[in-house]
Amino acid sequence: MEINWQELHDEAKRVMKLSYSPYSKFPVGVAGLVSDGRIIGGCNVENASYGLTLCAECSMISNLAMTGGGRIIAALCVDGNGNYLSPCGRCRQLLFEHGGPNLQLMTPDGPQPMSLMLPWGFGPEDLPK
């Protein structure tokens, strides 16, 4: 499936504007291309107790589950200015879980596979059956 990175970038910027980030003032948006062709998005949702804040990628994975599931094949994350962001470690794990090592993540150096972004990624296949 061809990845339209501009479409993902536009969606990430759109959903970033929906961010609830009154504490950090650092809105984040993410968009993902699902294996069935859908584009899903998410934004960060902060909480006065910072540890309860939801990253944009968490929001996107919830969106994935609520809209039929599937595998994410590409993702792009942006800050409040539309610049590419790298997901935090927890979010890299979420992306790996729902996209696997071949998920393409846009970086300032171009798309990179999750296997490079999360070396030795841990997934369902690593759990005892």
The residues annotated with a catalytic role in the active site are 57
Name every residue whose Cβ is closer than 8 Å to that of residue 51 and which is 6 or more positions away in sequence.
none
Question: 72-78 and 29-34: which strand pairing?
Answer: antiparallel
Of 109, 74, 87, 68, residue with least CA distance to 29? 87
